[in-house]
Structure 1
Amino acid sequence: MVVRRWLINLSLALIAVLLAFIAVRDVQYQVSSGRLTDLDPERVSSILLQRSAVPVIRLERGDHGWQMRSPIEAPADVEAVERLLRITQARVERVLPADATAAGRLGLDPPRVRLSLDGLTLNIGERDPIGHRRYVMIGDLVQLIDDQHLPSLLAPPEQLLSRRLLPTDFRPVLGSIDGRPLSADALAGLVEVVAERVEPLDAKLSGRLLMIQSADGIEQLRFLVSEGGTRWTRLDQRLSYLLAATPLPELASGTDSEATELGVAPSQSR
């Protein structure tokens, strides 16, 4: 009986050693691979970004590039999305098995940021006070990476939006300001206009109504343009595009008598 119990204990001990060896081997493999994930940023097609007390950001790659689906429906900025995806290739400095009792102390329960890429979830926590690395938990492993990705992860939705005034595939053929036609040259000049920044629509606006028709006749854009022509508000997107200078000289001389006033409820995107 004693011998049998001894054999059982020995078997359990061997199993524990084997499991420990497997865990260490997996950790060593993660370290030797050198990267946080094996995802190819060029092949990622969906992004879900969750932060506490702010709207969830959902991005999808489609035929016309990256699109933000929530909390704003609009084209996304390719460079901003690429910066966000750089975390997939972050160099891993250290790997350790996740300790459920320490998850809260590391800022992983709940995580400061939860990033899901094609179904793979990265839980981003606090910074290591000694090595100044960022804790990231994937599955049962906590990994330490360079702390350079947090600004992109914490960016407000509007900073991930395209700053192009017109959609990439939009070709304008007809346009008007308050019903007065725009010339073909003036419309062509709008194709490459890029705003300084994009802001959510959250105030009462006034300006001149500018309408642009696409070459295929399907899409029509409506902007409310401020006096001076440097703030263009897309009414369907509820976004304002702020320009360094007006792309249409005739807008620089707008008067209040030509203005249209629009009352808009505060934006829900913030």
Structure 2
Amino acid sequence: MSPVIRANWLLLAIAGLLGFIIHLHSQQQESHTPITTLDGSQISQILIKHKDTVIAQLQRQENGWTNLTTGKPAANREWIDKLLHIPRLPSLHHFPVAGLDLEAFGLQPPRHQLQLDGQTIRFGGIDPATGLRYVQVDQQIHLVSDGYTHYLSPDQSP
């Protein structure tokens, strides 16, 4: 076998191995469990707090969502869809709350709270090593991507 053909076979094997590694990595990322078991299509009430101030209180009606703080229909459906996706964010890492100083994670007091049908999601600070957001759900702290926190700020409300 000539050296060129041998080199081509070696390159083909390396490419196949790299493809297999990428495939395994993508499967691992898809296997992360969400931070809650809530289904966004079943949620009927949304309450958003920034620090201790209520930003928005929404309720699903037959004809759409109503902002209970203003008494008007919530016009920004895209914003509501983003809020309804938050409970399904993948938990990239999690650990129990027991014995931890929640203030160190920015969770005491939390910056934002999102209450969905009585289930409270508390948003804290950002982990300096990973850039992931600390989120508390029940007695667990999760690390999630920070792509949704800005939907909880006062200027995003309908």
**One-letter amino acid of the structure 2 residue matched with residue 38 of structure 1:** T
Residue equivalent to 1:129? 128
Letter of the 1:98 counterpart: V
Which residue number corresponds to residue 51 of structure 1? 50
Equivalent position of 2:101 in the other structure:
102
Do the aligned partners of 1:114 and 1:122 also contact (CA within 8 Å) in 2?
A: yes
Summarize the Cα distance change of 1:143–1:89 in structure 2 as closer, same or farther, 3 Å threshold: same
Between the two proteins, the alignment pairs up a number of residues equal to 127
Q: Residues 58 and 134 of structure 1: is their aligned pair in 2 closer, same or farther, counting only changes over 3 Å?
A: same
> Which of 70, 73, 86 is the aligned partner of 2:71?
73
Q: Give 1:56 shift.
A: 3.7
Counterpart residue identity of residue 145, structure 1: V
Give 3-state SS (helix, strand or coil) of 2:95's partner: strand
Residue type of the alignment partner of 2:144: I
Give the residue type in structure 2 aligned to 1:92: S
* Residue in 1 that maps onto 2:27: none
Q: Which runs of 5+ in 1 are unaligned?
A: 1-31, 162-270
8 A Cα contact 1:107 1:126, kept in partner: yes
Unaligned stretches of 5+ in structure 2? 1-30
Contact 2:50 2:154 in 1 (8 A): no
Counterpart CA distance in 1 for 2:104 and 2:98 is 10
Query: What is residue 22 of structure 2 aligned with on the other side?
Result: none
Compute the TM-score of the two structures, normalised by the length of structure 2: 0.74
**Structure that is richer in helix per residue:** 2
Corresponding residue number in structure 2 for 1:145? 144
Spell out structure 1 runs of 4+ moving beyond 6 A. none
After superposition, what is the alpha-carbon deviation per residue over 1:120-171, rounded to whole angstroms, capped at 9, x for unaligned? 1111101111111111111111000011111101143xx443xxxxxxxxxx
> Are residues 52 and 95 of structure 1, via their aligned partners in 2, closer, same or farther at CA, if it must alter by over 3 Å?
same
CA deviations 1:74-117 (Å, max 9, x no partner) are 11121110011221111111011114542001111111111110
Tell me the secondary structure at the aligned position of residue 42 of structure 2: coil
Q: Which amino acid aligns with 2:73?
A: P
**Is contact 1:60–1:66 with CA below 8 Å preserved after alignment?**
yes
Q: Determine what percentage of the aligned residue pairs are the same residue.
A: 30
Higher relative contact order (CA 8 A, sep 6+): 2
Deviations 1:234-256 (A, max 9, x none): xxxxxxxxxxxxxxxxxxxxxxx
What TM-score, normalized to structure 1?
A: 0.45
